[in-house]
Structure formats: C-alpha cells, structure tokens
C-alpha cells in the first residue's frame, strides 16, 4: 500500500486533481481525534466529546488542509505568486506552502493584531509581509482589489480549492468514528471552515459513507459576531484575534450549513473563551489557541442548557495550536508564577514537599 503523504494523496479520489498534478504537501492532515476524559465527568453529563486537534498540522493550524490544495492548484495553473489577507494562521500556512512550491507569498496582516507565534512563523518562512493599519476585513477587500491588477492567486477561503482541502477534516472524523457525530462545534470567523466541514459531511452522506449528518454549531466571539447579530459589522474586537472578523466572506455558505443541518450560531465573551481554553489545557492536557476554544465554550454551554442532548456524540474542532499565542496564555497564568529557589537539594525538596 502506498504510504500516505498528506491529505491529497489520502483523499485524491475526492479532490480535483489528476495523476499528473504536482502535489505541494507538508504531510498535513491525519490529525488526532481525542476523546475528552475529564471534562465530561467535571460537568457530570452523559456526553461523548471529541476534539479534532488541528493544531498538529505542519504550521499549527487547520489552514494547511486548504493550503495544500490551493497552492497545488495555483502551481498547476502556472501561478508564481500567491496572496492572502490574514489574522495570522492563513499567512503562516500560505508562506510555508509557497516556500515548498518555490513561489512567492504576499500576506496582508492587521498591524499589531496577530499573535506572536504566527508572526514568527511568517517571518521565518520568508513571506512578503505587508502590515496594514486596518483589520482583516479591510485587508480582504484590498486583496480582492489588488488581485485584479497584479499576477497573484488569492489563497483565502474564497478560493474554492481551500474549501476542497478543508472538507477532508470531516472525512477523517467519519473515518475515525465510523459515522458522523451528532453535533459538530467550531469557531466561526471568515466562515470558510464551517462551509468546508458541511461540504465534507454532505459528500460522505450522499455516498453513504456516513448514515447521517451532524447538527452544525457555529460559535463566535461576542465582539465579532455578525452571524449571531444577523448582519455584518465594522470594528470587530476580541482577544481571540484569529476570529476578529466582522465581514465573513463565506456568509451565504455558512447560513446554508446552519439551515440545512438544523444548527445554530451563538457568541461567547472573551472571558468565556479563555476559561474554556484554560479548562482544556488544565484538565485534559490539550493546548489550543483562544479562538479554537470557542468551540468548546459553545459546546459546554449548549450541553448545560440542553440544546445539545445527553447521550450525544460531539466533535469540537480545535483549529490552532496553543503555542501560536504565548502572550495570551502567559497573561492568563498570573496567579501561577513559577517559584525561583536556590539551586540546592534542600530548597528543591522543600519546594516539592510544601506543594504535596
Ligand atoms: N480558528 C482559528 C485558529 C483561525 O485562524 C480561524 C481563521 C478560525 C478559527 C476561523 O475559521 O475563518 O474559516 O471561519 N483564521 C483566518 C486567518 C481568518 O487569516 O488565519 P474561518
């Protein structure tokens, strides 16, 4: 059997590529679906919660799924440069896959509003970074405009190949669980990912690989919640900078996923999001970035209020790795400063025994 080298090879019969296509891959996908063991006991509810830990992709986020496809197709079509607007993860991913392919990457990011790890990555991969005095939504509209005037391929999720790549996360979940879950919870920003999951689940159901479809639950940050408000908004604000978006590009697709699946949108405060992030690391040993924890914040809220029924199987996507945003993590742990002691046995012994 051929060794799997990334999601395009694994799911090539469900993706728009040919045997001739040069695949640009960093062995993305095949991320772990981890069953939570401690949190269900803590909340004392009869539910199975799984997290799809997308932070273990090559650049630390789910964006790599879409980027392997988008860059593969860009190269196939003869493109020599890609461009995106980003809150950080797309830019890191685009930069890495561009290097892999030997093409240029231009990334527009909001000045001062992307997490440190994402900036570090994008710099190290050598992308052309253009910081704008504006937010993601402004960057996105500039990217769409400039692509009409320069020979660059847009690799934001308005590029349909991004959605094609990202739908494979739903395939992996069904392949792991043996069927679709009852509920799928995920953070919603630009709304490409909810669009992609719904496409993946639907394709598997149509082909009878899955017997059912999940209810899609899209969760947003309170200060950046256009779907919950039912209208696009200016000046979105949240500590979860990855989803600091007021004008989602996949607006209609996301509403379609919500309606067809019988799902819903809801919003959570920064405090609730950070509490969920900490709960996951503290009680399960799983470290995700703030935006990612919005999925768990929402799931727990809706399990508690009975909207998500007991006895269900729930999957939460953890979109990005906790290491992406060390500043926010450390600032949450002010009360747990490490102790500093003398470097001798007595002092170490005391430090341990005092804490037992
Ligand atoms: N979680 C993380 C960690 C993200 O980086 C993003 C989006 C989302 C969730 C939301 O996904 O946009 O498909 O609804 N980040 C984009 C970026 C906008 O530029 O990295 P979505």
Over residues 137-158, the pLDDT tens digits come to 999 999 999 999 999 999 999 9
Assigned domain for 339 exists: no
Write out pLDDT tens, residues 43-75: 999 999 999 999 999 999 999 999 999 999 999
Distance linking the first and last C-alpha atoms of the chain: 51
Q: Are 226 and 193 in contact (CB under 8 A)?
A: no
Residue 4, pLDDT above cutoff 80: no
Q: What atom in ligand 1 is closest to the CA of residue 190?
A: 12
Write out pLDDT tens, residues 305-350: 999 999 999 999 999 999 999 999 999 998 877 889 999 999 999 9
In this structure, the answer to whether residues 269 and 126 fall within a common structural domain is no
Q: Which residues line ligand 1 (CB under 6 A)?
A: 61, 63, 86-90, 157, 187-193, 242-243, 289, 291-292, 319-320
In this structure, the answer to whether residues 142 and 174 fall within a common structural domain is no
Q: What is the mean pLDDT of residues 89-115?
A: 97
| CATH code where residue 39 lies | 3.40.50.1100
319 C-alpha to center of ligand 1: Å? Answer: 7
Write out pLDDT tens, residues 215-260: 999 999 999 999 999 999 999 999 999 999 999 999 999 999 999 9
Q: Tokens standing for 262?
A: 């019988």
pLDDT given for residue 336 in this prediction: 79
Beta strands in the chain (DSSP E): 33-35, 48-53, 81-85, 104-110, 128-132, 153-154, 183-187, 215-221, 264-268, 313-318
In this structure, the answer to whether residues 243 and 317 fall within a common structural domain is yes
The count of domains in the chain is 2
Residue 69 makes CB contacts below 8 A (sequence gap 6+) with 8, 15, 161, 162, 164, 165
**What is the residue whose two structure tokens read 């799924």?**
65
In this structure, the answer to whether residues 250 and 175 fall within a common structural domain is yes
Q: What atom in ligand 1 is closest to the CA of residue 320?
A: 3
Residue nearest to atom 11 of ligand 1 (CA): 189
Best probe residue, ligand 1, of 118, 142, 196, 243 (max atoms within 8 Å of C-beta): 243
In this structure, the answer to whether residues 194 and 303 fall within a common structural domain is yes
C-alpha distances in Å from residue 233, one per residue of 94, 228, 267, 319, 329: 27, 11, 14, 23, 28
In this structure, the answer to whether residues 312 and 239 fall within a common structural domain is yes
Q: Residue 90 is part of which domain span?
A: 63-159
In this structure, the answer to whether residues 318 and 266 fall within a common structural domain is yes
Q: What is the mean pLDDT of residues 259-265?
A: 98
215 C-alpha to center of ligand 1: Å? Answer: 20
Residue nearest to atom 7 of ligand 1 (CA): 242
**pTM of the predicted model, to two decimals?**
0.97
């Amino acid at each position: 059997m051929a060794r799997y080298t990334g999601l395009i090879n694994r799911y090539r019969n469900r993706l728009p590529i040919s045997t001739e296509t040069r695949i640009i891959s960093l062995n993305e996908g095949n991320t772990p679906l981890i069953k939570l063991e401690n949190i269900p006991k803590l909340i004392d509810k009869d539910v199975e919660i799984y997290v799809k830990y997308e932070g273990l992709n090559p650049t630390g986020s789910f964006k790599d799924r879409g980027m392997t496809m988008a860059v593969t197709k860009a190269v196939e079509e003869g493109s020599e440069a890609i461009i995106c607007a980003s809150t950080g993860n797309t830019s890191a991913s685009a930069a890495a896959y561009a290097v892999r392919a030997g093409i240029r990457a231009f990334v527009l990011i909001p000045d001062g509003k992307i997490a440190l790890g994402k900036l570090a990555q994008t710099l190290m991969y050598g992308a052309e970074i253009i910081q704008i005095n504006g937010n993601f939504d402004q960057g996105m509209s500039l990217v769409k405009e400039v692509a009409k005037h320069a020979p660059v391929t847009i690799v934001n999720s308005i590029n349909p190949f991004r959605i094609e790549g990202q739908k494979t996360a739903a395939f992996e979940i069904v392949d792991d669980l043996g069927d679709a879950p009852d509920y799928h919870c995920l953070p919603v920003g630009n709304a490409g990912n909810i669009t992609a999951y719904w496409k993946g689940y639907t394709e598997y159901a149509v082909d009878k690989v899955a017997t059912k479809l999940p209810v899609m639950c899209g969760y947003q940050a309170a200060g950046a919640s256009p779907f919950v408000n039912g209208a696009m908004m200016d000046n979105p604000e949240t500590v979860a900078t990855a989803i600091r978006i007021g004008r989602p590009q996949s607006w209609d697709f996301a509403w379609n996923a919500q309606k067809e699946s019988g799902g819903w949108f809801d919003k959570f405060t920064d405090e609730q999001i950070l509490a969920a992030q900490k709960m996951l690391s503290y009680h399960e040993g799983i470290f995700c970035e703030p935006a990612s924890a919005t999925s768990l914040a929402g799931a727990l809220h809706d399990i508690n209020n009975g909207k998500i029924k007991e006895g269900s199987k729930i999957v939460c996507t953890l979109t990005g790795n906790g290491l992406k945003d060390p500043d926010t993590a450390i600032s949450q742990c002010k009360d747990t400063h490490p102790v500093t002691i003398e470097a001798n046995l007595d002092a170490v012994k005391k430090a341990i025994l005092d804490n037992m």
